[in-house]
Amino acid sequence: PAKTEKEELKEKIAALEATLKTARGDLIYQQEQVKDAGEAGYMLLAADFERYRLQAKSELELQGGVGRRATIRDLLTFVEEFERLQGSSAETEQAADIHKYYGGID
């Protein structure tokens, strides 16, 4: 019993309809994936930006502390040297004598 042309066409149509259903299902799935990727992609991008912002803020605070420490260290050296020079009695007495001498001239 050979199939008639009509039966063969019906089988082909049924196969094509099954393929169409599968393709539609795949299309809907892919569209959902694209939608999810768009939303998730945005969320990932926002999270990455927030991490970068916090890291930059932390780095800036750290660098500010380093700068303050360096400045204080240099200033401390200056203050120590100033105190040492101010404390030397011979130079202080000599400066006081010069000040008295010039202070008496009007």
Q: What predicted TM-score, i.e. pTM, was given to this entire model?
A: 0.38
Which comes out higher in pLDDT, residue 75 or 99?
75
- Amino acid in the structure at residue 95: A
- Residue 17, number of CB atoms within 10 A of its CB: 10
Q: In the 3-class helix/strand/coil scheme, how is 60-104 assigned residue by residue?
A: HHHHHHHHHHHHHHHHHHHHHHHHHHHHCHHHHHHHHHHHHHHHC
The band of 92, judged by pLDDT with boundaries at 50, 70 and 90, is: low
Q: Exposed, middle or buried by CB within 10 Å (0-12, 13-18, 19+), for 90?
A: exposed
Query: Would you say residue 13 has pLDDT above 90?
Result: yes
Residue 39: its pLDDT value, please?
Answer: 73
Decide if 91 contacts 85 (C-beta within 8 A).
yes
